[in-house]
């Protein structure tokens, strides 16, 4: 398995507060890597520094061996490292299918315009086919012609993920994908995420509900006060006394 994302001693401070302190991670291709840690330990900041939303104060970020440290979010997105909020939010009044089409990067002529004018050309037909296949993969094929506003919370999350898929992402970073979602749907979302690995996708997932998320992950990192305190198989990380102490203490 190839290393997809690598951080080396990545550091980010806000004034005197070192939110991310010399963090070194390796995300392997085609895996689901879980990032856990108590509130304020630096998980989101780490993601922001990796995806170009914030500039690091030290260290480096490499994607497929390419040094992307300090790159703009747009350039990192172009390389296929996608944080779901980097893709424009779903248009609630558009259909599910149109939402997926609008996230595609090779729309030729704007697919939306093309559909409106009914000027179906090969390119658009291919895009529609691809979009429908993506919707099938995330369990939304029966919803394809419904407006996005009619979807439930879990379905909207899947629509968000299907849009990153449509954008051609290789690595998708999700900040609390099951936050606030009913446990039954949480399992459904995680099952779909796991199944998307077989299409070549890699996931970096921040979650607080670690008991629900851990069984789906291949690897886990735990952070505390800006630093990585444990890494390895999710269950081993959860049982690591250092991690237990952080959560109990």
Ligand X SMILES: Nc1ncnc2c1ncn2[C@@H]1O[C@H](COP(=O)(O)OP(=O)(O)OP(=O)(O)O)[C@@H](O)[C@H]1O
Which positions lie near Mg ion, rule CB under 5 A?
44
User: Do 48 and 81 meet the contact criterion of CB atoms below 8 Å apart?
Assistant: no
Q: Which is nearer to ligand X, 166 or 217 (CB)?
A: 217
> Could you tell me the maximum CA-CA distance found in the chain, to the nearest angstrom?
62
247 binds, among Mg ion, ligand X, none (CB under 5 to 8 A by kind): none
19 binds, among Mg ion, ligand X, none (CB under 5 to 8 A by kind): ligand X
Binding site for ligand X (CB under 6 A): 14, 17, 19, 37, 39-45
Question: How near is the Cβ of 47 to Mg ion at its closest, in Å?
Answer: 8
Q: Which is nearer to ligand X, 42 or 80 (CB)?
A: 42
Residue 128, CA distances (Å) to 100, 104, 134, 142 in order:
9, 10, 10, 15
Q: Which is nearer to Mg ion, 135 or 181 (CB)?
A: 181
Question: How near is the Cβ of 173 to ligand X at its closest, in Å?
Answer: 12
Q: Which is nearer to Mg ion, 8 or 44 (CB)?
A: 44
| Pairing verdict, β 202-206 and 171-175 | parallel
12 binds, among ligand X, Mg ion, none (CB under 5 to 8 A by kind): none
């Amino acid at each position: 398995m190839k290393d997809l994302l690598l951080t080396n001693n990545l550091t980010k401070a806000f004034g005197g507060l070192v939110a991310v302190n010399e963090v070194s991670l390796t995300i392997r291709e085609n895996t689901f890597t879980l990032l856990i840690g108590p509130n304020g330990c630096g998980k989101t900041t780490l993601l922001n520094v990796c995806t170009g939303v914030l500039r690091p104060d030290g260290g480096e970020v490499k994607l497929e061996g390419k040094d992307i440290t300090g790159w703009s979010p747009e350039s990192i997105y172009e390389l296929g490292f996608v944080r779901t909020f980097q893709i424009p939010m779903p248009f609630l009044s558009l259909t599910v299918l149109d939402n997926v089409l609008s996230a595609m990067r090779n729309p030729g002529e704007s697919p939306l315009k093309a559909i409106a004018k009914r000027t179906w050309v090969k390119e658009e037909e291919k895009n529609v086919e691809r979009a429908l296949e993506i919707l099938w993969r995330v369990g939304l094929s029966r919803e394809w012609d419904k407006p996005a506003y009619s979807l439930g919370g879990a379905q909207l999350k899947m629509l968000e993920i299907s849009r990153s898929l449509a954008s051609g992402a290789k690595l998708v970073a999700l900040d609390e994908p099951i936050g606030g979602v009913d446990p039954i749907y949480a399992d459904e979302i995680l099952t779909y995420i796991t199944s998307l690995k077989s299409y070549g996708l890699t996931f970096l997932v921040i979650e607080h509900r670690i008991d629900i998320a851990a069984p789906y992950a291949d690897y886990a990192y735990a952070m505390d006060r800006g630093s990585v305190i444990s890494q390895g198989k999710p269950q081993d990380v959860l049982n690591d006394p250092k991690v237990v102490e952080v959560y109990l203490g």
